[in-house]
A = this chain, B = another copy of it.
């Protein structure tokens, strides 16, 4: 009885449940806060509401891009933690580190909505996206090297494949940052197409994956 409780305590100490509760809360709030950057316009003179809404089109674009970015980040986070049976101190702090650029995204998105062709806004947005990708990669690298934290061990090949999947969008973001000054529209288009890039990378990985390997279960 006493030992049962002790075991249960240790289990709770390692249980990912509160890590996921906090993370899902953060994801849900960000998904919902993004809309606040679309301001109800004040009509001036004889301007119609339709015209006024067309004027704030960059707000809708920034909302849509950021919504898809966050939804995609959540789907990746869910895939990752579906592998993780136990968390330790490092996983918890890496996950907090991961939530830092995520929490900054609404600011980056507002900046993009207001200054959608400004190089600084585009660069900052790209840096946030890279930070989200790399901190999640850090969690992946850490846990897959520790099979006791996982439900099933991940093959070395799968570890490298997943790292490669993250590389593709990261390089794309770096290109977008490099182009922010000269070709802001291209830069914005890259951010908009990110989920598509992920989608292609994941579909390729899934199809090439050995049966039963970790890639097969990607969302």
A residues lining the B interface (CB < 8 Å):
2, 5-6, 8-10, 12-13, 15, 18, 20-22, 24-36, 38, 40, 48-50, 53, 63, 67, 71, 74-75, 78-79, 81-83, 85, 89, 92-93, 96, 99-100, 103-104, 106-107, 110-111, 114-115, 118, 120-121, 124, 150-152, 217-219
Contact = CB atoms under 8 A, between A and B. Distances in A.
Given A22-B27, A89-B219, 14 more contacts: A9-B83, A9-B151, A18-B20, A25-B27, A25-B32, A35-B104, A38-B107, A49-B120, A53-B120, A63-B104, A67-B100, A74-B96, A75-B92, A93-B219
A65 B48 CA distance: 24
14 contacts: A5-B151, A5-B152, A12-B151, A13-B82, A18-B24, A18-B81, A25-B27, A25-B28, A31-B99, A31-B103, A32-B103, A34-B103, A89-B219, A92-B219
A22 B74 contact: yes
Contacts of A24: 18, 21-22, 25, 28
B85 A5 contact: yes
A105 to B, nearest CB: 8
Nearest to A110: B40
A219 B18 CA distance: 13
A35 B210 CA distance: 43
Copies of this chain held together in the complex:
4
A38 to B, nearest CB: 5
Nearest to A6: B152
